[in-house]
Structure 1
Amino acid sequence: MLSIVTFIKDLGTIRKALLLAVLLFIAGGILGWIGTGSLQQLLNEQLKGISEISGNLRESSNPQWSFFVFIFLNNSIKSVVIIFLGALFGILPAFFLLINGAVIGYLIHLSAIQGQDLFTLIVKGLLPHGIIEIPAIIIACAFGLKFGSNVLSALFKSGRGEEKPESRWPFFMRQTFTASVWIVILLLVAAVIESTITFSLLS
């Protein structure tokens, strides 16, 4: 039930939700890049908060360990919770994807405007851990979107046709449990990379 093969097969049953999650994340990135007005203010507050947390962690007695613990707990808890919050018609996973994409898009655009080295930001600052962390978050949100879709189907189903296996609640709840375990594992790996390799590259 918890094998990587099962997890990969489960991903195949939520292909539409995965595609939608990717599109929402990209849309968020575009919105962040062109963001103005209230959106720009919101994103500035997000980056300010991240900067303050980063500063506090760097001042701790063991910065790398502090970064690891914070990054892992923050990402893993949010990602697992967002799966089940998807029961609220998939609204919160969609918002989570848009905001996360927007923060990255805005950060890259802001850095470009300020003349900062984008190679350092993207290749050294985002890519080493992001290549695992971002897909893991997208997968979590995709399951959240599927959760919302299943809730809507249960509320408004017409009763026609045979129900797909992935829409049956026992089957789907097993999927979410398997997904939660593997998402946490992926985010653990990403946190190790971010608190070691990324930390060293940007120091």
Structure 2
Amino acid sequence: MSLRALLHHFKEMKIYFCIIIGLFILGIVLGANHWNEAIIKEQMKHIQEMASQAKDSEVVEISFFKIIFFNNVKSMVLMVLMGLLFGIMPIISIFTNGLLLGYVGDLQEETWIDLLKGIAPHGILEIPALFIACAYGLRLGVLVIQGIGSVGNDERKMKFKINFIRLSKLMIPLLILLICLLLIAAIIESTISLWLVQS
């Protein structure tokens, strides 16, 4: 299927987008209240390790771009595909991302402009990509559950088969869209966002 078909399919994904955005907002609220700091600090440790790798290279911007882009692509693809395990991974991922953002935002509440400078330029593309990946991962999980529930019922089994084939055909344009969004976001983050934070 084409990118146009994928964008058209977004209309049918409203409930999934609403669930994902709701979980993200819930994560932000709980993160701002320092809920479950152990998970948050583990995520921050991983981010700091990636930043250290980039700083140790000769050309920071190029190294930063490579690390961000490949890490984000790997994470987003996993969010979609691991959705096959009943949609658990996308739910955890979106909630954890919200926790991290809320926690960091609370730590920098007096310098929120600096936080916006560091996130907004690339986040305008990266966050929607995160929502899309998690929403489709969740949809896959629901589809798997429906498939299990269709055992012994020919009508449900046929409906499941049609939906599964249709969603499978959307995977290629979905991954292309995510890669394009993440590529542009990584370029912005390793240049404009990095420059704004350093300034």
TM-score by length of 1: 0.89
Moved over 6 A (4+): none
Q: Is the 8 A contact 1:7 1:182 kept in 2?
A: no
Distance 1:195 1:14 in 2: 32
Give SS of 1:163's match. helix
1:8-65 CA distance string (max 9 Å, x none): 11212211111111111111111111124xx112212321331232123122101000
Aligned to 2:112: 118
Unaligned runs of 5+ in 2: none
Cα distance per residue 1:115-142 (max 9 Å; x no partner): 4x111111x1010000100110110000
* Partner of residue 171 from structure 2, selected from 171, 176, 179: 176
Q: Is the 8 A contact 1:125 1:201 kept in 2?
A: yes
Count of aligned pairs: 195
* One-letter identity of the residue aligned with 1:95: I
Q: Partner residue of 1:138?
A: 131
Match of 2:22 in 1: 23
Residues in 2 aligned to 1:103 and 1:79: alpha-carbon distance in whole angstroms: 17
CA RMSD in angstroms comes to 1.8
Verify the 8 A CA contact 1:2 1:181 in the aligned structure 2. no
In structure 2, C-alpha distance between the alignment counterparts of 1:151 and 1:74, rounded to whole Å: 27
Output one character per residue of 1:64-116: Cα deviation in whole Å (capped at 9) or x when no partner: 0011111110111110121110011101100000101110110001122xx4x
Which whole-Å deviations, capped at 9, do the CAs of 1:164-194 have from their partners, x for residues lacking one? 89x6211110112221110111111100110
How far off is 1:163 after superposition? 3.1
Q: Distance in 1 between matches of 2:108 and 2:38?
A: 16
What's the counterpart of residue 31 of structure 2? 32
Q: Which has more helix, going by share of residues?
A: 2
Structure 1: which 5+ runs fail to align? none
CA contact (8 A) 2:143 2:160 kept: no
Secondary structure, counterpart of 1:193 in structure 2 = helix
Give me the whole-angstrom Cα distance separating, in 2, the residues matched to 1:98 and 1:32.
Answer: 10
Q: Give the alignment of 1:35-184 within 5 angstroms.
A: 35-36=34-35, 39-112=36-109, 115=110, 117-122=111-116, 124-157=117-150, 163=159, 168-184=163-179
The answer (yes or no) to whether the contact 2:91–2:138 under 8 Å persists in 1 is: yes
The alignment's TM-score, normalised by the length of structure 2, stands at 0.91
